[in-house]
Amino acid sequence: SASAPPIKAVKFGNDIVLGDETVLFRHDKTFYHPTAILVEVSDDLEDDAINAKLEEIKGLDFERVGLQYHLDGVAVVEKSGNPERFAQVVGQVAAATDRSLLLLSENVDALKAALPGVADRKPLVGSAVESNYEEVVKLAKEHNVPVIIKADGLDALSELVEKAQKLEYKEFVLDPGSRKPSQTMANLTHMRRLAIKKKFRPFGYPVIAFTTKDEPLAEVTEASVYVAKYASAVVLKASTKAQLLPLMSWRQNLYTDPQKPIQVEPVLHAVGEVNENSPVYLTTNFSLTYYSVEGEVEASKVPSYILPIDTDGTSVLTAYAAGKYEPEQIAKALEASGVADKVKHRKLIIPGYVAVISGKLEEVSGWKVIVGPRESSGIISFTRTLEL
């Protein structure tokens, strides 16, 4: 219908929403649903290798700059040619992890063998191709799970989607078939443009991309292109923390709302086992600034207090330029924080970039102001010379 969103929202697994995007560029509004990242487990691996992979997958939850990152799901890929083996591995994976599942095979018998056992987990299933789409879409409809429609190239894909839509089921995720990074990126970009600018209905669905590189660093680089250029889900083989954290950080940065900087609570934070002699650092409540300072303070091994001033989530210089880092405002926050009851000294360390406010701040707050380093990276060497 005319009022339908340009890209349909499709849910699978643990309520992961794919699609439902409205713009080509983040700054036009924002991107809403972060790319789902799934790690591939192939059914032609030995059981021990599968268990080792599942063990790695268990550890793929992170915290970075105060945000939680998680691996979204596991893609079980049928390469054995054996429906029973595929069903067995799907069961093994489902028992070992509660992450969302993707079942991938173009063999209808393999999907029929594996899907009933995990249908209640609402996996994404694929792939419906020209030769089997009626059966695969029917199977997905029967179990009420979303299905990948795959064809080689955009013309073939749009035709196949139009045929599949006639089967009275529209929980689709699209795969334009190409496995060369440059071609995949071009396809994903064309599909997004056609869906949003031209309201081209056959492409009004989420899209999925698969990496082809074998070397983990190259593979993560390839995946990061798909995260940036419109893939609603990406499937890759890399499965260690060191490989996936950069990809998740990249995703996080793309999917933050550019109109709402990420902020931390502007209250007094204690780092380490603080006492009445602990230093007091002043910063802003922009999360990147705050966590940079917190990380360096922690690394300095000197337990300290950090007071982020509410600057609407802007950095030190931006806040100062906008009049949001004024001595009077800081003095009020200092008093409200209750830090005066926690330390016996009256010394406050301010960022080096705002040294200019030190005189006025001393006057209005009654605290002695120490001008700290300009960058948080200078905190460790600064603490060595610090005398409170």
Bridge partners, residue 149, by sequence: 128, 174
Q: What is the dihedral of CA 112, 115, 120, 122, to 10 degrees?
A: -120
Answering whether pTM is above 0.75, one says yes
CB 12 within 8 A of CB 120: no
pLDDT in the model for residue 51 = 96
Q: How far apart are CA 119 and CA 168, in angstroms?
A: 20
Torsion 23-27-31-36 (CA) sign: positive
Q: What is the dihedral of CA 154, 160, 166, 171, to 10 degrees?
A: -70
Domains annotated for the chain, with CATH where assigned, are: 9-254 (3.20.20.20), 269-385 (3.40.50.11600)
**Residue 387 pLDDT more than 80?**
no
Report the relative pairing of strands 124-128 and 100-104 from DSSP bridges: parallel
Contacts of 178 (CB under 8 A, 6+ apart): 152, 153, 184, 187
Average pLDDT, the chain: 95
Query: In degrees rounded to 5, what are phi and psi of residue 271?
Result: -115, 115
For 2-58, the pLDDT digits (tens) are 678 899 999 999 999 999 999 999 888 989 999 999 999 999 999 999 999 999 999
Task: Tell me which residue has tokens 């082809």.
Answer: 212
